[in-house]
Amino acid sequence: MQLVIVESPAKAKTIEKYLGPGYKVLASYGHIRDLPPKDGSVRPDEDFSMDWELYGDKTSRVKAITDAAKTADRLILATDPDREGEAISWHVRELLAKRKALPKEVERVTFNAITKQTVTDAMKRPRELDQDLIDAYLARRALDYLFGFTLSPVLWRKLPGAKSAGRVQSVALRLIVEREREIEAFRSQEYWSVIARLEQAGTEFSARLVKFDGQKLDKLTLGDEGAAMNAKAIVEAGTFRVEDVETKPTRRNPYPPFTTSTLQQEAARKLGFSASHTMRVAQTLYEAGAITYMRTDGVQMDPSAISAARKAISDRYDGHYLPEKPRHYETKAKNAQEAHEAIRPTEFTKDRYGSGDEARLYDLIYKRAMASQMASANIERTTVTLRDGTGKHELRATGQVVKFPGFLAVYEEGRDQKADGDDEDANLLPAMNNGDTPAKRGVDATQHFTQPPPRYSEASLVKRLEELGIGRPSTYASTLQVLKDRNYVRTEKNRFFAEESGRLLTSFLERFFARYVAYEFTAGMEDELDDVSGGRAEWKTVLAAFWRDFKPKSDEVMEKKPSEVTAELDEFLSDYLFPPRDDGTDPRLCPKCEAGRLSLRGGRYGAFVACSNYPECKYTRKFAQPGGAEGEGAEDGVLGKDPVTDLEVVRKAGRFGPYIQLGEGKDAKRASIPKDIGEMDLEWALKLLSLPREVGTHPESGNPISANIGRYGPYLVHDGKYARLKSTSEVFETGMNAAVMLLAAAAAGAGGRGGRVAAEPLKVFGAHPLSGGEIKLMAGRYGPYVTDGTTNATLPKDKQPETLTEEEAVTLINERAAKGPPKGKKKAPAKKPAAKKAPAKKADPDTGAPKKAPAKKAAAKSAE
């Protein structure tokens, strides 16, 4: 019997069918071992020796592999064709050797797609494990461990509220924070454009004023309304004739097929997918044999695939759409490695596959791959110049016509933001000749304001990381997810916003660990790791060079007192927190007591700015709120007076976010400001302060139904039974009929028992890898829990539902299932002498939560 090891059960089932009798295919379910989350798992003083620990939920899986290996004649390691796949194969081999269950014959095979042809062909070309790739994995894993486990304790002790730092994640966070700073430092400028609406031969078109009074206009030349109206009057009074018509043919070539990063970017732009969701869906398509491997830097396609694509093009379009020669692409991305094929369909005869998100992503991959082998698009760009009789004033009209669409008939790449002039280029211009005088239908002078750089979307951030050579495209999805899970960033309308904790962490790292969050350093480390995978460098030498400088630096910061750290950050951030005031007064002067000085302080829940006259003066403001008049106005502002009590309603900024307050002292009434409220005004403030709102009396029980806002958002409550609402506005708008229906639906969702369960899940993840059931996060009577439809697992008390990841959900369900069905209560045993107090559990450097026992450790992420 020949034993084949792959990573996922879906692949195992498909491949066993392809190989037939004589083969047994088992899945490892991703990694089977990892470094234990404790100090000493990597020991630099012992030549970087490393300890490995079996994942608690992989015990039965590894036993099945071990038992099968004892009776196998040959072991075929067929995990994914990348670094992680090579590492999983290495772990399986090492573990079987340790258990004395390793067959005499051990071979490694890789394939880029799960089709019968590729799998059977791969089995005919086995090789040895690639030690260079294994060394690169060991170096990367040890490097990330040493970075996180050395730096995270420094953060916990010196920076309140910080959870963890990572070699790549901290640099990605820095990009987001720096963009936030650019936006805040941006000062908008007014400018005007003058556009003439013209008509020629019955076709209307527009022309922009580009030259005025002999001066060429740039974007900001017409900087105020007076100048714009003067220019408008001149254009209205003048007669403009066509002086030049320039027609320039251009060609646009197709884009190469998808790589991991370009797939993530396009799926974000066109489908609204997050990077992690894109990779999950692509994983499903790959395991089903629909597409090639989805973790790749390569843009090339196999010659047979190119032939299949060209045939599909010729079958669908006429000969003009098929270039004479096949197109060949070369990878230009920095640090590109592991020369796999691009992501493409396994069969170009199938232009559709699956349903839902799978179908949408497959359609994107199929069209991009086919378009990559199509003819170029022929575009004719026309520029028409018109001048008045004086020759001092000039209008320009531009437009383009697609003469032959070529690949554009199938696919056009999306863009994150339109460039200036894009709309004008899309104009269709009538035929014009020199001397023509188009009819003037009107002239518009329009006011504009320069815009700050846009916040990063997932697509643009992934693109920027790849441009800088930071991290690997295959890890971007998990890196961005960590930033969200740690609450360092939030996303709104698919854009990243830096949270207060993320800004503070970035500032701390820039001040004390500047070298290790420098883009050049992080990209340089990727180069060194690539040298290891290419056999050009020795992995322990790379680690030793890193550790030689990093350890003393972390020890130096650890020796500082928290007050010293805060003082240095106060000075480092002075320009940001206390920018110069327009009136020239001291920016650190307290605006409340007008005597104390403001400075950065550290508290249990993070940093904030406070007055030196505390406790007499209790003025504070959030760390992430810069100084100046605008900041102060946003923090403490009178919204108006309550018409009932005649007391002032004040907006304030607290350590837990903005809130509103009515009155002072113990009798003051307060309410937090929900994030989904746009602009806070007196009307909204009075509504929030009036909560809870009584919707009415339930027709069956006769008891009241109330609407309110709680820890997990807006909700309805009746007789201790709850139902979620979708937005703050629904708290004030939901009527009796809707409330009764929502409560009934929530009760039905709890199995008819009327428990405190929402009708809709708080969050929906993918399918459970074992049961296949859809994983949902629910709000239960005794707190939030996750379920796959078979097993329910309560979230730990220290775990916030909004930060739960799919991997953590799978782990919780697996751990609960391993305990078996709930048992009835047993009689309490007789009291025994008090046992010795167990030592305090160490905190996990990745999550900040108490470390779990090995058997309870989080499951490995399935290689996608």
For residue 125, give the DSSP letter: S
Structure tokens at 353: 């596959």
Residues in the chain: 864
d(CA 533, CA 520): 20
Q: What's at 740, amino acid-wise?
A: V
**Would you tell me how many other CB atoms lie within 10 Å of the CB of residue 59?**
13
| Token pair 């796959």 in the structure block, residue | 788
Contact (CB, 8 A) for 240 and 387: yes
- Residue tagged active-site, from 23, 145, 293, 456: 293
- Residue linked to tokens 């391993």: 818
Q: Residue 181: count other Cβ atoms within 10 Å of its Cβ.
A: 14
Closest CA to 199 of 403, 422, 386: 386
CB 378 within 8 A of CB 402: yes
Nearest to 400 by CA among 376, 387, 384: 384
For 584-611, give the DSSP string.
Answer: ---TTB-TTTSSSBEEEEEETTEEEEEE
Q: What does the longest C-alpha to C-alpha distance in the chain come to?
A: 108
The span from the CA of 341 to the CA of 291, in Å, is: 11
The 10 Å Cβ neighbour count of residue 198 is 24
SS3 content of the chain, % helix, strand, coil (to 5): 40, 20, 40
d(CA 430, CA 204): 8
Strands (DSSP E) found in 750-817 = 763-767, 774-780, 783-787, 792-794
79 contacts 5 by C-beta, under 8 angstroms: yes
Q: E-strand spans in 44-89?
A: 49-50, 53-54, 74-77
Kind of pairing between the strands at 2-6 and 23-27:
parallel
Q: Which residue has the tokens 């299932």?
A: 817
Asked if 59 and 44 touch (Cβ cutoff 8 Å), the reply is no
CB 152 within 8 A of CB 164: yes
CA angle (343 as vertex; 338, 348 as ends), nearest 5:
140
> What gap in Å lies between CA 671 and CA 54, rounded to an integer?
48
Do 457 and 480 contact (CB within 8 A), yes or no? Answer: no
If 0-12 CB within 10 Å is exposed, 13-18 middle and 19+ buried, where does residue 598 land?
buried
d(CA 340, CA 342): 7
CA-closest candidate to residue 309, choices 344, 280, 271: 344
Active site residue 362: no
Closest CA to 507 of 626, 636, 654, 614: 626
Residues 440 and 857: their CA atoms lie apart, in Å, by 74
Closest CA to 607 of 139, 38, 133, 160: 160
Q: How far is 804 from 817, CA to CA, in rounded Å?
A: 19
Q: How far apart are CA 492 and CA 810, in angstroms?
A: 27
Which segments of 615-681 are extended strands (E)?
A: 620-622, 637-641, 648-654, 657-662, 669-672
Pairing label, strands 669-672, 2-6:
unpaired
Residue with tokens 């949270």: 499
The C-alpha atoms of residue 389 and residue 368 are separated, in whole angstroms, by: 51
Residue positions annotated with a catalytic role? 293
